[in-house]
Structure 1
Amino acid sequence: MSGPSTPSGAEADAAPRRTGRGRPPRLDQARTIETALALLNEVGLEALTMRRLADAMGVQAGALYRYFATKDDLLTAMAERMVADVSAAPAGDPDWSERLSGLARSLRQALLAHRDGARVFAGTHSTGPNTLGFADTGIGILRDAGFADEDAARALMAAVNFTVGHTLEEQAALRPGGGGPADPGVLGDAVTAGTYPHLSATLPALASLDFTPHFEFGLGLLLGGLRALR
């Protein structure tokens, strides 16, 4: 009688690793996403690979492809999870601009909660319930305020693009290690070494790493433009 066959190739790669005796570690989509987010916070986006994620979960790398065919698919799922708790001000608030600004602030905080969160989110196009619910809430705020349908859609895209772009720059400036062009010392040295009177006069604001006032100023400009459009 022949013994049991040994898995080969893709079958062996997809099989969860056993850690000692007992059952192999449980693998499911939700746990994979949560582990990926935790690993993102630990090592950053560049070092987040499918193999490293598999190692963190105690499985073979091929097992992850059951849920995510590519790393981009994984990043989209991570972005979808990030916006799970994004919310606007209560619907009873009569001020549409306060509700929309609350939604933008909530999105920024959700992205800041994860290392490289804005880089993960940027360019993903999730059609999951969290992302669609967020978009539906934002467009609903604007339509209820009297914006035409096309204007409401474009206004929400403008608010999201501003928020994500701002947070990209914020997280890049605050990335562990620093020393890059966003380092205030680097900027200050470059400005004072040349003849830039206008940059010198505004250097305290330009070099500030307190990004909340920067964000609120830009958000206020966006909302002012929307009020004028309305």
Structure 2
Amino acid sequence: MSSPSTPHPAEGARAARGRPPRLDQGRTAQAALELLDAAGLDALTMRRLADAVGAQAGALYRHFATKQDLLTVMAERMLEGCSAPPPEGDWSERLTVLAHRMRAALLAHRDGARVYAGTHSTGPNTLGFAETLIGVLRGASFRDEDAARAVLAVVNFTVGHTLEEQAALRPGGPDAAEPGPADPDGLRRAVAAQGLPHLTAALPVLTSTDFAAHFAFGLNLLVQGLRATDRNGPAGAVEAGRP
């Protein structure tokens, strides 16, 4: 049984006749993440969240002026632990660890990438993660401008990839009888019907659900591009003759 000092997020106020439980942003954000995992982003409404924490819907707006504010706090909470310094090693290995860490954090919650996309938290988890990433690159003698743009590229790639990954794995119809957003058989039929030889050759990878391999490949491309960056010439320049 939960103690009064640690109420379960799903406990409603309907059962209580007295004063409703005092809201705090952290407990409310955790309840929102639990609702997200249970029902998905589309079902997460301020009214359902208010019911989950045993409060009136209007009371939530004292902490979150809009639903976007709520999503920003949820995104900040999801990145908890991601800013810890990665193991010692080459800068590319450390950057790779951090990117995989972020992907895992987003995958830990249903529709996690959808929640994170478009948020701009200034909380300690989000800023700490960016600080660690930039620190890895500046420590490897990347210019400030290049380090900043590299971080944007890595974060945007990670969020975008995870967004597509979670969308592809989202269940289909009510009883999963209908295909979900990703329909490999439909793609195979369309390619065969149009007689597209290059796509036919690529179908085994294009229809693969090995998203970890897809992510690792794309991330490696980013890393190799960063290796080609000339850290001594003008910002953004590329060394001539580098493969």
The normalised TM-score by structure 1 is: 0.88
Identity %: 70
Q: 1:65 is matched with which residue?
A: 61
- Structure 1 residue 20 corresponds to structure 2 residue 16: yes
Q: 1:163 is matched with which residue?
A: 158
Q: 1:10 is matched with which residue?
A: none
Q: Distance between the aligned counterparts of 1:22 and 1:88, measured in 2?
A: 43
Pairwise CA distance, 1:80: 0.3
- What amino acid does structure 1 have at the position aligned with 2:206? L
Does the 8 A contact of 2:113 with 2:159 survive in 1?
yes
Does the residue aligned with 1:155 lie in a helix, a strand or coil? helix
Pairwise CA distance, 1:90: 3.4
Q: 1:181 to 1:25 in 2, by over 3 A?
A: closer
Aligned residues: 214
Q: Distance between the aligned counterparts of 1:17 and 1:106, measured in 2?
A: 37
Pairwise CA distance, 1:208: 0.4
Does the 8 A contact of 2:13 with 2:53 survive in 1?
no
Choose from 43, 53, 58 the match for 2:39.
Answer: 43
Does the 8 A contact of 1:25 with 1:59 survive in 2?
yes
Q: 2:179 is matched with which residue?
A: 179
Q: Distance between the aligned counterparts of 1:23 and 1:95, measured in 2?
A: 56
Q: 1:89 to 1:98 in 2, by over 3 A?
A: farther
Q: 1:64 to 1:78 in 2, by over 3 A?
A: same
Q: Deviations over 1:32-85 (max 9, x none)?
A: 000000000111111111011111112110111111000000000000001112
Q: 2:28 is matched with which residue?
A: 32
- Structure 1 residue 145 corresponds to structure 2 residue 140: yes
Does the 8 A contact of 2:171 with 2:180 survive in 1?
no
Does the 8 A contact of 2:50 with 2:57 survive in 1?
yes
Deviating above 3 A after TM superposition, structure 1's stretches of 4 or more consecutive aligned residues are: 20-23, 87-91
Gaps of 5+ in 1: 1-15
Q: Distance between the aligned counterparts of 2:81 and 2:165, measured in 1?
A: 21
Pairwise CA distance, 1:21: 4.1
Q: Distance between the aligned counterparts of 1:58 and 1:220, measured in 2?
A: 47
Q: Distance between the aligned counterparts of 1:216 and 1:88, measured in 2?
A: 21
Does the 8 A contact of 1:18 with 1:25 survive in 2?
no
Q: Deviations over 1:158-213 (max 9, x none)?
A: 00001000001000000122724522122112112221111111101000011011
Q: 2:3 is matched with which residue?
A: none
Q: Distance between the aligned counterparts of 2:102 and 2:84, measured in 1?
A: 9
- What amino acid does structure 1 have at the position aligned with 2:192? T
Structure whose residues are more often helix by fraction: 1
Choose from 99, 104, 109 the match for 1:114.
Answer: 109
Q: Distance between the aligned counterparts of 2:185 and 2:210, measured in 1?
A: 15
Choose from 79, 93, 98 the match for 1:103.
Answer: 98
